[in-house]
Amino acid sequence: MKDNLFIEYVNTPYEEPQDMLPKINEAMLADMEESLEVDFKKEYQQEDLASILESIKYIRIYCRNFPCFNGFDYQPLQAPFAYYRSRKTYLKELPFTEDEFYKFTYIQDAIKKLGLKAQPTFEFITFLYYNIKVWSENQITTSGAKVDNILSLLKEQLNTQLTMNIKVGSKSFEFNNSLFIQSLLEFYSSHNLISCNLVERENKRVRERTIQYSLVKTLLDYLPIKTDKSEGINFVQAERDLALCTLYLCKLLMGDPTYVCTKDNNATFDKLMRDFKDFNITLHQMLI
């Protein structure tokens, strides 16, 4: 084995069976969050507390969806208050300034159309961008999980043509027999080999698109958007505009904003949603 060859394994984490977890006590969570707020107010009593709490309210709405189980009971996430305490660190990692956000008329128009407020929207984007970036850098899968995911897709898409490429040095070998490829994958999956726990890391392009999707999908899912949607409509134009503008500001989408941030670029947004429709965002698991 070459000295510079590093093989990494990961142990499959144990997950608590859902039927063994206690029921969430919403009233108790609300009392605990109020207690966290009281402690927070004591820290910033010399400042405009109403404005501070207003600025992080969208972050709080998001975090209320993911109470933390401490082994005995549920408790609210402290992330909204922790964010404000470390806000300067978050802003340093942001690829645009707060001033640029407010001067970007395209995103301001979308925010108004969706019945949102600019300041808490900015804070939520900042919060998500930082945490999604950190989260994505720690995202790994295993060879076994990757193969199982392929097999799961094949069950949904019967008779799909498969192609497999293997490169050995300068030589490439291509397999086009779908039955042969699927047989290999099923054999590998069913035998639970040691290599099933080998870590797989996505390439830079895939990771970047994962960040794009996670950012805009979380925004659109958890912002308190006010809009009427006709039956069968998943996203109105203002939601698409907000998503495209956010990607543009975060340097995850390049080009002329008059094109890339408007309905002329809806195809980019729609393709992102289609490509990741089965992707499970687990960002909340790293928050405390």
- Per-domain residue ranges of the chain: 141-200
Q: What is the C-alpha separation between 59 and 17, in angstroms, rounded?
A: 28
Kindly state the DSSP code that residue 21 receives in the 8-state scheme: S
Q: What is the C-alpha separation between 282 and 288, in angstroms, rounded?
A: 13
Do 130 and 94 meet the contact criterion of CB atoms below 8 Å apart? yes
pLDDT at position 155 is 81
Instruction: Please give the backbone phi and psi of residue 9, each rounded to the nearest 5 degrees, phi first.
Output: -120, 160
> Which stretches within the chain are classed as H helix?
26-43, 49-55, 57-63, 79-85, 87-93, 98-103, 105-113, 118-137, 143-156, 178-190, 204-222, 237-249, 257-260, 266-275
Q: For each of the chain's 288 residues, which pLDDT tens digit applies? A: 444 444 444 444 445 555 566 788 788 888 889 999 999 999 988 889 999 999 999 999 999 998 887 767 788 889 999 999 999 999 999 999 999 999 999 999 999 999 999 999 999 999 999 999 888 766 666 777 778 878 877 887 777 888 888 888 888 888 888 888 888 888 888 888 777 777 666 667 778 898 999 999 999 999 999 988 887 888 999 999 999 999 999 999 999 999 999 999 999 999 999 999 888 888 887 776
pLDDT at position 31 is 87
Do 78 and 85 meet the contact criterion of CB atoms below 8 Å apart? no
Tokens of 254: 């390049």
